[in-house]
Amino acid sequence: MGKLLAVIETNHGTIKFKFFPKEAPGHCRNFIKLAQRGFYNNLIFHRVIKGFMIQGGDPRGDGTGGPGWRVNAEFSKLPHLKGTVSMARSQDINSAGSQFFICLDRQDFLDGKYTVFGQVVLGQNVVDKIGGLPTSPTDRPLQEARMLKVSIELAS
């Protein structure tokens, strides 16, 4: 898993991130399984908060959906840096499913409270572009930010 990359092709460009299987094996396996099944294809980034993060992976597109199962928390000492990929969840720490977010800047208040499972290695400019989209009062982008295809590749 450590030599695999997630490739998120969006309508704004491509994002690639590496996995942290030692720190979050269950979350890495879950994301890879969902990506390989095509689960993320054509889903949107439904939540964008400037200077904070972009969030996607909800099949309903409103922040309430998931894959039909949960993944238990795997908190580690990995910090939430610019480009960190972490699992979204409800107030229940063991409620992660398919929704994930990518940090737009350092977010130390999330450390030890959300499972970090990846780090952007290519396309941070795309993350930043999506993070700069105008949004509604409920943080929904006014311009579509869609994951056209999410796949897994071997790192070179």
The pLDDT, as a whole number, for residue 59 is 98
Question: How much is the mean pLDDT over the chain?
Answer: 97
Torsion of CA 34, 39, 44, 48, to 10 degrees: -20
The pLDDT, as a whole number, for residue 155 is 85
Contact 67/113 with Cβ under 8 angstroms?
A: no
In this predicted structure, the answer to whether residue 1 has a pLDDT above a threshold of 80 is no
Average pLDDT over residues 129-144: 98
d(CA 5, CA 38) in angstroms, rounded, equals 15
Query: What percentage of residues in the chain have a pLDDT greater than 70?
Result: 99
The pLDDT, as a whole number, for residue 156 is 80
Q: Find the largest Cα–Cα distance for the chain.
A: 42
d(CA 37, CA 25) in angstroms, rounded, equals 18
Six-digit token string for 99: 């929704």
Complete domains list, the chain, with CATH: 4-154 (2.40.100.10)
Residue 63 contacts by C-beta under 8 Å, 6 or more apart in sequence?
46, 47, 55, 99
Q: Is 78 helix (H, G, I), strand (E, B) or coil?
A: coil
Rounded to an integer, what is the distance from CA 48 to the centroid of its chain?
A: 12
Residue-wise pLDDT tens digits, 68-121: 999 999 999 999 999 999 999 999 999 999 999 999 999 999 999 999 999 999
Query: What global pTM score does this model have?
Result: 0.97
